[in-house]
Amino acid sequence: MKLQRWLIFANARVRAQWPSAVISHSSQLRGLNSSARSHYKHLEVLQDANIDAFREGYFIPEQPALLPRRSFGDLPAFERWFHHSTTENTSQLNTEYLAAHGAEALVPLELTQSQQSVSNSENIESSDPELSFRKFHAPLSLFLRWIREAESSSHAQSRLYLAQCQLLDLPQVLRDDFPTPPIVATAGKGDVYDTNIWIGYPPTYTPLHRDPNPNLFVQLAGHKTVRLLPPRAGQVVFSYVQGQLGRSGGREAATFRGEEMMQGRERALLEQAVWNNVKNASGQAYEGFEAELEAGDGLFIPKGWWHSIKGMGESVTASVNWWFPVHITSHLVSAAAINNIKIVNLK
């Protein structure tokens, strides 16, 4: 990680906003629309974790799979990074452990704030205020301080999200808490493209996008709902939204979690398209899959599948994902061709 990334936080104007801007309080963000479930089929939970069966049934044909419940509850991070309550089904981040081993590590943070000021919030009736969004890097200790405040009060006007934190940016003692799962080590080539950690206090949100690599997404704490669309349908939905914005929505777009997706009209349109079941020109709603993840659960998201994620509940929500290269076979090449996915770097 380059030290220059820290400069945004070192700037006096930015620094002066902490903690008042980040640890301020107002109304909670609007909840999910309960009617949004009708056009997403619940992804069935696999009963068998056999890797050969997974490879042949899901990995090679590029189909999403919800692995057997709590298959990943034995990850060291599951117990070391969190305090889990079995009676209330909630979790707390083990800030003492993380501070002891990685307080000074520079981590990527996302700050989402309501444009509505605290001083006039009582005079404006709005359930969906305009949001501002920015990314920056700061010591892990800052995020730990914020999460302690968030856990004591759920009415934060500003929210921090530790998003897409690369495992390699953390000290070795913390890296060791995330050994590569056997399904990642053996289903494909055996190497890992990247490992990322996501921690926040709900609601958290990742907009509709697709990844260029297969993805094992594991829930460590709290609850998340993932909505998935197959490559062709997701491309149509994304292109429709981009057309509304006067932009091109070609196949090269949205291959990463872009900053422009997290604020303004684009955020609103993407969220509406996925979570409120916007219909296409023919009046038909797109069908996809929905997966509910609790601590210890794992979801396989194939390369090219579009997905959006929401973290919900009353306690910290956290995830880790492994992106790994795919072992290209004739079967996979055929499936990719059918779905109009461009294959590159055939090795």
pLDDT tens column, 277-317: 655 544 556 789 999 999 999 999 999 999 999 999 989 99
DSSP letters spanning 194-227: EEEEEEE-SSEEEEEEE-SS-EEEEEEESEEEEE
The residue type of 108 is: P
Cβ atoms 326, 193 nearer than 8 A: no
Domain boundaries, the chain: 39-113+132-338
pTM for the full model?
Answer: 0.80
- What per-residue confidence (pLDDT) applies to 283? 55
DSSP alpha helices (H): ranges in the chain? 7-10, 12-15, 51-54, 76-80, 95-102, 140-152, 172-175, 182-187, 231-244, 264-275, 330-338
Q: In the chain, which residues have pLDDT < 70?
A: 1-38, 115-129, 154-156, 249-258, 277-285, 326-347
CATH of 39-113+132-338, one of 2.60.120.650, 3.90.1200.10, 3.10.180.10, 2.60.120.460: 2.60.120.650
- What per-residue confidence (pLDDT) applies to 154? 58
Is the preceding omega at residue 19 within 30 degrees of 0, hence cis?
yes
Q: How remote is the C-alpha of 75 from its chain's centroid?
A: 19
Distances, alpha carbon 150 to alpha carbons 54, 153, 157, in Å: 39, 5, 10
Over the stretch 114-138, which tens digit does the pLDDT of each residue have? Answer: 766 333 433 433 334 477 889 999 9
- What per-residue confidence (pLDDT) applies to 124? 32
